[in-house]
């Protein structure tokens, strides 16, 4: 298999698998237990928390382990907004039109709970302007949530500039607090993540995007950030996320994050060159295509291309028959057919949006993989276009 869908999930790193193994077998204690097995499990969780904190330049007490990116995003957005409203700070939330569905749906949940939500637009490259965020701030604003790196087109957002804009606005308005959360799920392995340089109050990660196990995630929550937990129970995770800890998942997550946080420059340069090789090959070998999104201020592994005259699902299936795995947009939206909300927000015409395919490369991608795709893709696109034209002509014929 030629696997080019790393934005959807990545293979489990061998080092993470090895680190997890003891906690899937004999070392099975509950971290809440006061006996030796429980203390051993708790010690493993503590070490993992310190490792994750070092990777993000945070304090260990600011790291909460969750079940994944979706929970982290929902916990940050709903938990912070609700706590701020309870403190009579306001009920206005700002996000963007190109967030992952976890963020979009969390914002819609907040609307159902009585919050007012402003959805910022993006430009044709998929970038949101910090000036637009600044203009949307008002005395009732309690939270802004903007993703660091887009999962469909790879565009990077100016999170540090947005943090500065919020800070400057707050100084002019008597120190009114507006929390800033970023969905950084796609960033590990490709970008240095420093929560202090970004200036965020909360940041969400998903383990399986950077070589960790599925069902595990990280939420950075800056000290003293107002927060109301979504899950209530035994008070684990420093009273912020109840439920017996997934020790194996937590250990695997920290191990994978540490590896992903090293060698970023070299990894990004190598994979970025392969992405360019793929882009140039597609543009040269397939007529009538549109490259979506900025190719400079973006993730080095993400390439989104629209193929005119065909539907993306058909091309994904055709490539799959050759052992090539790619995606028709966000993996979390494939159960329902609809144009990508990200591409629509970018102003991509719907006839092009429905033919968009995302190629997301990974650490293990090789030049042979890229060449293998380029050997198959042009003829499959041509075949599907011919079939689409034949069907259209048949439908146009009089009965």
Length of the chain: 399
Quote the tokens at residue 214.
Answer: 């599925």
pLDDT number for residue 175: 81
With cut-offs at 50, 70 and 90, classify the pLDDT of residue 331: low
Residue ranges per domain, the chain? 2-7+264-396, 14-260
Interatomic CA distance for residues 210 and 203, integer angstroms:
15
Residue 332 has pLDDT above 60, yes or no: no
**Section 368-380 average pLDDT:** 98
Rounded Cα distance between 236 and 41, Å, is: 13
Query: pLDDT tens across 154-170, in order?
Result: 999 999 999 999 999 99
Percent of the chain with pLDDT over 70: 97
Whose structure tokens read 């939270």? 143
Q: Would you state the pLDDT for residue 274?
A: 98
Of 261, 320, 310, 326, the closest CA to residue 53 belongs to 261
> What integer pLDDT is reported at residue 334 of this predicted model?
53
Predicted local distance difference test score (pLDDT) of residue 394: 66
Structure token digits, residue 343? 């591409």
Query: How far is Cα 68 from Cα 102, in angstroms, rounded to an integer?
Result: 11
Cα separation values, 298 from 153, 155, 287, 293, 343, Å: 8, 4, 24, 8, 15
**pLDDT range class, residue 335, cuts 50, 70, 90:** low
pLDDT of residue 398: 73
The H or E element containing residue 143 is strand 141-145
The pLDDT assigned to 174 comes to: 86
Please state, in angstroms and rounded to a whole number, the distance separating the CA atoms of residues 51 and 147.
23
Full-model pTM: 0.95
Q: Examine the residue annotation and report whether 332 is marked as an active-site residue of this protein.
A: yes
pLDDT at 391 over 80: no
Q: Which CATH number fits domain 2-7+264-396: 3.30.70.100, 1.50.10.20, 3.20.20.80, 3.90.1150.10?
A: 3.90.1150.10
The string of DSSP letters for 169-188 reads HHHHTTT---EEEEE-TT-T
Report the alpha-carbon distance of residue 202 to residue 223 in Å, rounded. 10
Question: What confidence tens digit (pLDDT) does each residue in 270-290 have?
Answer: 999 999 999 999 999 999 999
Q: Which strands form 289-292's sheet, in the order they lie side by side? A: 289-292, 302-307, 356-360
pLDDT of residue 397: 73
Q: pLDDT by residue (tens digit) across 226-240?
A: 999 999 998 999 999
Dihedral angle sign, alpha carbons of residues 374, 381, 291, 120: negative
Residues 133 and 163 sit within 8 Å (Cβ to Cβ) = no
Percent of the chain clearing pLDDT 90 (strictly above): 92
Alpha-helical segments (H) within the chain: 14-20, 36-56, 69-86, 101-112, 130-136, 159-172, 195-198, 236-239, 247-260, 264-285, 312-320, 341-345, 350-353, 367-396
Tokens of 201: 């109050």
**What is the CATH T-level fold of the domain 14-260, as seen in this structure?**
3.40.640
Task: Give the pLDDT of residue 177.
Answer: 92
> Is pLDDT of 372 > 80?
yes
pLDDT at 399: 64
Q: Which of 55, 89, 294, 332 is catalytic?
A: 332
pLDDT above 60 (res 333): no
Confidence of residue 71 (pLDDT cuts 50, 70, 90): very high
């Amino acid at each position: 298999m030629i696997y080019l869908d790393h934005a959807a999930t990545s293979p489990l790193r061998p080092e993470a698998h090895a680190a997890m193994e003891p906690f899937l077998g004999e070392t099975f204690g509950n971290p809440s237990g006061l006996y030796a097995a429980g203390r051993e499990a708790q010690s493993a969780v503590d070490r993992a928390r310190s490792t994750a904190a070092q990777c993000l330049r945070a304090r260990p007490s600011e790291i909460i382990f969750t079940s994944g990116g979706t929970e982290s995003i929902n916990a940050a957005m709903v938990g912070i907004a609700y706590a701020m409203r309870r403190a009579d700070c306001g009920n206005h939330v700002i996000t963007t039109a190109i967030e992952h569905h976890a963020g979009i749906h969390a914002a819609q949940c907040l609307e159902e709970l009585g919050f007012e939500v402003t959805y910022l637009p993006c430009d044709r490259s998929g970038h949101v302007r910090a000036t637009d965020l600044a203009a949307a701030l008002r005395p009732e604003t309690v939270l802004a949530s903007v993703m660091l790196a887009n999962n469909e087109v790879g565009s990077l957002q100016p999170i540090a500039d947005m943090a500065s804009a919020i800070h400057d606005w707050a100084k002019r308005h008597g120190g009114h607090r507006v929390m800033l959360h970023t969905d950084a799920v796609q960033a590990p392995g490709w970008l240095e993540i420093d929560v202090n340089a970004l200036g965020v109050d909360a940041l969400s990660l998903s383990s399986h995007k950077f070589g960790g196990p599925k069902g595990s995630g990280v939420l950075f929550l800056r000290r003293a950030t107002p927060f109301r937990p979504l899950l209530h129970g035994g008070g684990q995770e420093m009273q912020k996320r109840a439920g017996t800890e997934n020790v194996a998942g937590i250990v695997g997550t920290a191990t994978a994050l540490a590896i992903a946080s090293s060698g970023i420059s070299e990894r990004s340069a190598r994979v970025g060159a392969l992405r360019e090789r793929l882009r140039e090959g597609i543009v040269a070998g397939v007529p009538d295509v549109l490259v979506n999104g900025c190719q400079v201020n973006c993730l080095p592994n993400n390439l989104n291309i629209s193929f005119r005259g065909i539907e993306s699902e058909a091309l994904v299936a055709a490539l799959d028959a050759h052992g090539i795995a790619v995606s028709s947009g966000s993996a979390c939206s494939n159960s329902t057919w609809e144009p990508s909300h990200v591409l629509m927000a970018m102003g991509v015409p719907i006839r092009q949006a429905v033919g968009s395919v995302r190629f997301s490369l990974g650490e293990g991608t090789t030049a042979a993989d890229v060449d293998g795709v380029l050997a198959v893709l042009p003829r499959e696109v041509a075949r599907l276009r011919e079939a689409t034209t034949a069907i259209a002509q048949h439908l146009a014929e009089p009965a």
